[in-house]
Structure 1
Amino acid sequence: MTQAKPDQELVITRIFNAPRELVYRAFTDPDQLVQWFGPVGFSVPRETVDLDVRVGGHQRFTMVSDEDPNMASPVAARFTEVIENELIVGTEDWEGVPGQQESSGMYLRIEFHDEGGKTRLVLRQGPYTAEMVQMATAGWESSFTKLDPLLAS
């Protein structure tokens, strides 16, 4: 059986009804991150989160299935570029995603653009196989449904 080549980039553009400073903080404040990150049915226990958002800093946490706490996916990222309220760039390693081999050196780029009091977020991540692009997109979109009410509060 031949492994599919990971050569696909995930790109999501989404408008949030909140200023970019609030959206940026939701990605960089551990207490906020745990309230929304992970698709519906998954959570991030606060004790697993370690964030140091600066060039050379890191992000570490574990996403856990609400139904089966033994199903966990640790994520570790290294930040290569950070501009407060504007940009987060880094590389990620993760494991435990069903149907996917462990990742090494996947990139992540999150841009926060001011849209007149709202925020246009542009997220790029990869490389993925074509199948994983669909699954990762669904995961991010599901996470964003949890982020919307947090930003509204």
Structure 2
Amino acid sequence: MSETTATKELVITRIFDAPRELVYRAFTDPDQLAAWFGPVGWSVPRESVDVDARVGGHQRFTMVNDDDPNMTSPANGTFIEVIENELLVGYEDVQGMPGMGPRLTMRLEFHDEGGKTRLVLRQGPFSEEMEGMSREGWNSSFTKLDALLAR
């Protein structure tokens, strides 16, 4: 039997070989977000992306399964803290999503590491199972982000 109570926080720390301004922009620029977001096998159509990176602003997009375009996963987050090139904090209400929420929060910290960026991502609450799936999804997405930043 899998755990369904959402109490676990996902924490991922990753170093990107790019200045933090570029990594931050990859999360806030709609063109760039569409180019990398979503695990391998999923994409984000540019026309679905709308980002207003300010306190009270939003980040909206829809992930679409590459093999079955009828399989979608919309995201609609609200920013509650924004410090350009340093911090993005927001939440998304995810009512009716087993193993998540009911309010999913996310904190992205962008730290300068001598021309590279140490990103610290905190997201939750998740059930144990959803935390693992989210970790896999983020790591897959970050592989795509590495490729974008290398251009």
TM-score scaled by length of structure 1: 0.93
Q: Which residue of 2 aligns with 1:26?
A: 26
1:145 aligns with: 143
Equivalent residue runs for 1:73-92 within 5 Å: 73-92=73-92
Contact 1:95 1:101 in 2 (8 A): no
Q: Using the alignment, how far apart are the partners of 1:149 and 1:78 within structure 2?
A: 27
Question: CA distance change for structure 1 residues 26 and 2 in 2, over 3 Å: closer, same or farther?
Answer: closer
Cα deviations across residues 28-81 of structure 1 (Å, max 9, x unaligned)? 000000110000000000111111000000011100100000000010000000
- CA separation in 2, counterparts of 1:133 and 1:46? 27
Q: 1:4: Cα distance to partner?
A: 1.7
Unaligned runs of 5+ in 1: none
Q: What percent identity do the matched residue pairs reach?
A: 68
Give a deviation string over 1:110-153, Cα, whole Å, max 9, x none. 00000000000000000000011100000000000000011011
CA RMSD of aligned residues (A): 1.9
User: Which amino acid in 1 is paired with 2:11?
Assistant: V
Runs ≥4 in structure 1, deviation > 3 angstroms?
A: 93-97, 100-104
Q: Does 1:35 align with 2:35?
A: yes
CA contact (8 A) 2:100 2:130 kept: no
Unaligned stretches of 5+ residues in structure 2: none
**Secondary structure at the counterpart of residue 105 of structure 1:** strand
Tell me the TM-score normalised to structure 2 length.
Answer: 0.94
In the alignment, the residues of structure 1 paired with residue 71 and residue 96 of structure 2 have an alpha-carbon distance, to the nearest angstrom, of 7
**Structure 2 residue 12 is matched with structure 1 residue 4:** no
Aligned residues: 151
Does the CA contact (< 8 Å) of 1:86 and 1:111 recur in 2? yes
Aligned to 1:45: 45
**Cα separation, partners in 2 of 1:38 and 1:105, compared to 1, 3 Å:** same
Distance 1:96 1:60, change over 3 A: farther
